[in-house]
Structure 1
Amino acid sequence: MAWNEPGGNKQDPWGGGNRGGNQGPPDLDEALRKFQQKLSGIFGGKGGPSSGKRPSGGGGGGGLVVGAVVIAIVAYLFNAVYVVDEKERAVILRFGKYVETVDPGLHMYFPPFETKFQDVVTEYRSYPVSQEMLTEDENIVEVALSVQYNISNLKDYVLNVANPDKALKEATQSALRHVVGSSEMHSVLTEGREVLGDEVKERLQSYLNSYGTGLYISKVNVESAHPPKQVQAAFDDVIRAREDEERAKNEAEAYANQVVPEARGDAQRIIEEANGYREEVVSRADGEAERFTKLLAEYKKAPGVTRERLYLDTMQDVLGSTSKVLVDVKGGNNMMYLPLDKLMENQKKSSSSTGATGELTAQELDELTDRVTAELNRRASNARTGRSVR
């Protein structure tokens, strides 16, 4: 049954006994006095919880001092206990001397005898750098880059260098000026930018290792590299001219790659044709020589028959592929040859020049016959006159 319900005998849970009709909250001053009395009893002071008397003024002052001491101890312990996160590490110094590097977890140290330096070591940090400097060919360029780094050794970061971040920035400027100062401007502005970042990273890391800063450079990104704004237009023209030069070279190489194989193929074809012609001529010459040797043997056996046969074969070869007209003249003893084929060719040429079809009309044929007859009569008369003169 609750103490304030009927029949509960008015029992006060705060230890005040039966207070009759007073059902209000307990007195805070009285509760504080009881707490001080308990502390005084613990530390040997006068008056205990059973004395029932109000402590004097001197006793109350001693209790306040003890309370202050307890609060100070609690505050000291609260400050001495600390937590190291997974991405952090802590370095403990005792009287300024290195003691240990603390891993993640709950730990405690004892100030002012010990000093704690706690910082993030797994997270990468970045800062930008932008500088104007001279290149090897004495041109001014402006290079902007960003450096990504983290703390690899917290002990060195805390103890070796007074201001590691400032040392990092100054070392970056030094490494950048050294690399750019040993490179030409064209390389810095164009294809050498990636190489520039790698060289700056390597040189910067060597500087930081020699200083013992405990920093690790993960990446150096060259964000931009350009000449000063006052001469930017002129450098753009130079870059465009170089691009045009490269384009012309590529076109020339493409043309050469197309023409040279064709020329080599034509040259090889001509060589093969020449070799074939040589083989043909040599083989034909060998065959003619062999035929002449065999013909000589037959000629020695029957000279007259062979000579007659050679004459007939030759005339057949000569006259077999040409057009010819032979006219037997009465009263004569020989055949006359008229070049009618040549006359026909001349007639065809004249007809083609005038737009004719190339065929002889009846009138043209009669005229041609009359000319042939007149020529035959003239030759016959000349032949008779020549015989009478003799």
Structure 2
Amino acid sequence: MAWNDNKNKNPWAGSNQTPPELEEVIKDFKNKFNGFFSNKKSSGAGGASKTLSSSGFKYIFILVLLVWLLSGIYIIDPAEKGVVLRFGAFQEETSQGPHWHIPYPIETLNRINVEQIRTVEIGYRNVINGNRRFGGNISSESLMLTKDENMIEAKFAIQYKINDVQAYLFNVVNPDTTLRHVAESAIRQVVGQNTMDYILTEGRVSIADDIKEKSQSLLNRYKTGLLITTVNMQDAQPPEEVQSAFSDAVKAREDKQRLINEAQTYANDILPKSRGKAARMLEESKAYKSKVVSKSEGEASRFKQILAEYEKAPKVTRERLYRETMENVLASTSKVVVDSKANSMMYLPIDKLINARQANTQVFAKESSTQQNNQGGNIRDIFRNRGGR
């Protein structure tokens, strides 16, 4: 029975009675709920109809209100953000955990995954056919003009995520489409500022970084709430119509570079050797010059000293010069000269003399002709012998 029945008295009729058990309350509520639908008009003409009791309406209203209020409970996952809208206007932003909002139609909830990495494809589309994935080319997006007025076919994959939920929902009508248009504009701008060779070779990473920077700047200006994480150049090549001609040009350029590298390698090998040889020859010539000059100066000095002694004893000096000269001349011959007045019985080891003379001949052949005929040297020896006497 209702609390306001029985003239606002205690429904348990006395202060000494305990409240009924929970099962009895639920059973009583169930019986009254069933009786609400089972009550019909009674029989008999002119009989009075039986109306629903006011307590049945209250129970129904409370139940419906309870269910409606419970429908406002929601749980946000760690990777999500919840945005509550009241009659379409932003009310609040909630993070992970359980929350409650006024149920529909007063407030609505939008769940946005802010950790999901999304991808937009420029110049191609990945088409999934069964379990296989095929890359479809989009010429209207991939064909671009470079700085050196060459056509190039470039494909890019841009990965991004949501970093501002409120801006993503309310500032731009379709942020994902806006990002595609912004990326296409930035790609064509960057490609148009570089040559084809730079794009195809060493400029791939630099171009991707420039595209990311320019695209993010435009997205921040539009306040889309999107953050670009990576920009990857999937492929870059000349159009199919000129692919063969471009391949020939690339091959010729590679051959040119190879020949240049080989020539540079050869130059790096031969030039140091030539420079070292030239330096060695210069040093040898300087040493030879110093040696000849010093020797000449020494010989001239010694000749002057010997000349003074020669003037004192010319006959002895001439005899000594003659003997030394004949010794040098006869040393290179295999003949043995014996004085006819000598004792014929004297033993002469001719074979040993011949061998000794041949050995002297070989040593003598190695000496310079200038040293053999150098009179100054002979005079010096003569003077030494005289001094020994």
- TM-score, normalization by structure 2: 0.65
Q: Pick from 30, 33, 38: which aligns with 1:35?
A: 33
Q: Does 1:286 align with 2:314?
A: no
Instruction: Write out per-residue CA displacement over residues 104-133 of structure 1, whole angstroms, 9 at most, x where no aligned residue.
Output: 011111244444332000121112111211
Q: Does 1:149 align with 2:141?
A: no
Give the 3 Å change call, closer, same or farther, for CA 32–93 of structure 1 in structure 2. Answer: closer
Gaps of 5+ in 1: 1-13, 16-29, 40-54, 327-390
Instruction: Write out per-residue CA displacement over residues 169-210 of structure 1, whole angstroms, 9 at most, x where no aligned residue.
Output: 110001100000111111122222222111111111111111
RMSD: 3.2
Contact 1:80–1:108 (8 Å) recurs in 2: yes
Q: Does 1:119 align with 2:117?
A: no
Contact 1:133–1:142 (8 Å) recurs in 2: yes
User: What secondary structure does 2:51 align onto?
Assistant: helix
User: What secondary structure does 1:59 align onto?
Assistant: coil
Q: Pick from 235, 242, 247: which aligns with 1:231?
A: 242
Structure 1: how far apart are the matches of 2:304 and 2:49? Answer: 164
Give the 3 Å change call, closer, same or farther, for CA 127–64 of structure 1 in structure 2. Answer: farther
Q: Does 1:137 align with 2:129?
A: no
Q: Pick from 79, 83, 102: which aligns with 1:87?
A: 79
Structure 1: how far apart are the matches of 2:223 and 2:117? Answer: 19
Q: Does 1:264 align with 2:256?
A: no
For 2:209, give the aligned amino acid.
D
Q: Pick from 294, 297, 315: which aligns with 2:308?
A: 297
Structure 1: how far apart are the matches of 2:50 and 2:304? Answer: 162
Contact 2:36–2:56 (8 Å) recurs in 1: no
For 2:158, give the aligned amino acid.
V
1:314-329 correspondence runs (5 A): 314-318=325-329, 320-321=331-332
- CA offset at residue 244 of structure 1? 1.5
Structure 1: how far apart are the matches of 2:49 and 2:120? Answer: 66
**1:10 — aligned with what?**
none
- TM-score, normalization by structure 1: 0.65
1:91-240 correspondence runs (5 A): 91-94=83-86, 97-110=89-102, 111-130=104-123, 131-240=142-251
Instruction: Write out per-residue CA displacement over residues 139-185 of structure 1, whole angstroms, 9 at most, x where no aligned residue.
Output: 11111111111111112212222211111011000110000011111
Q: Does 1:59 align with 2:52?
A: yes
For 1:92, give the aligned amino acid.
V
Instruction: Write out per-residue CA displacement over residues 261-291 of structure 1, whole angstroms, 9 at most, x where no aligned residue.
Output: 3223322332333233223312321331122
| Deviating more after overlay: 188-197 vs 304-313 | 304-313
1:363-382 correspondence runs (5 A): none
Structure 2: how far apart are the matches of 1:63 and 1:275? Answer: 131
Q: Pick from 238, 247, 252: which aligns with 1:241?
A: 252
User: What secondary structure does 2:78 align onto?
Assistant: coil
- CA offset at residue 299 of structure 1? 1.8
- CA offset at residue 324 of structure 1? 7.6
For 1:267, give the aligned amino acid.
A
Contact 1:88–1:122 (8 Å) recurs in 2: yes
Instruction: Write out per-residue CA displacement over residues 304-337 of structure 1, whole angstroms, 9 at most, x where no aligned residue.
Output: 33334334434444554357899xxxxxxxxxxx
User: What secondary structure does 1:136 align onto?
Assistant: coil
For 1:175, give the aligned amino acid.
A
User: What secondary structure does 2:178 align onto?
Assistant: helix
Structure 1: how far apart are the matches of 2:181 and 2:58? Answer: 54
Give the 3 Å change call, closer, same or farther, for CA 64–321 of structure 1 in structure 2. Answer: farther
Structure 1: how far apart are the matches of 2:55 and 2:256? Answer: 94
Structure 2: how far apart are the matches of 1:252 and 1:239? Answer: 20
**1:50 — aligned with what?**
none
> How much identity, in percent, do the aligned residues show?
43
For 1:35, give the aligned amino acid.
F
Give the 3 Å change call, closer, same or farther, for CA 68–144 of structure 1 in structure 2. Answer: farther
Contact 2:36–2:52 (8 Å) recurs in 1: no
Structure 1: how far apart are the matches of 2:243 and 2:289? Answer: 68
Structure 1: how far apart are the matches of 2:243 and 2:61? Answer: 72
**2:324 — aligned with what?**
313
- CA offset at residue 213 of structure 1? 1.2
Give the 3 Å change call, closer, same or farther, for CA 262–64 of structure 1 in structure 2. Answer: farther
Gaps of 5+ in 2: 1-22, 38-47, 124-141, 338-389
Structure 1: how far apart are the matches of 2:55 and 2:261? Answer: 96
Contact 2:144–2:153 (8 Å) recurs in 1: yes
